[in-house]
Amino acid sequence: MAPTSGVVMFGPRRRSARTAAPAMGAMEADSIGKNTAWVFADGRVTKGTWRKATETDRTRFLDAEGKEIAFPRGQIFIQVVPKASGATFSVEAAR
């Protein structure tokens, strides 16, 4: 089953000190704090932010006005990318 929504979370990443991995090592993302997010759902993209105050809180995704984004029913794919990644997206017109 394919995800119905996708999220790009921007945040700091670093080499893991907890995991022994070959060559470059495994990467970890900081998921506590807040930063930019793009939410792709229902054929739209919403630019907003993500926030998580403590390790036991859930991550909240907020739109530009600070309102929590409601996800459609289904799986959500979340990718964390470094703040300085230069990631972009483009939207094609519907045919």
Q: Are strands 60-63 and 27-29 parallel, antiparallel or unpaired?
A: unpaired
- DSSP state, residue 59: P
pLDDT tens readout for residues 56-92? 999 999 999 999 999 999 999 999 888 777 888 887 7
CA dist list (Å): 74 to 5, 50, 61: 8, 19, 16
pLDDT tens readout for residues 8-54? 999 877 666 665 655 556 666 677 889 999 999 988 899 999 999 99
pLDDT at residue number 91: 74
pLDDT at residue number 28: 66
The DSSP bridge partners found for residue 40 are 6, 45
Q: Torsion over CA of 67, 71, 75 and 77, rounded to 10 degrees? A: -40
* Whole-prediction pTM: 0.78
pLDDT at residue number 22: 59
Q: Is the CB of residue 60 less than 8 Å from the CB of residue 39?
A: no
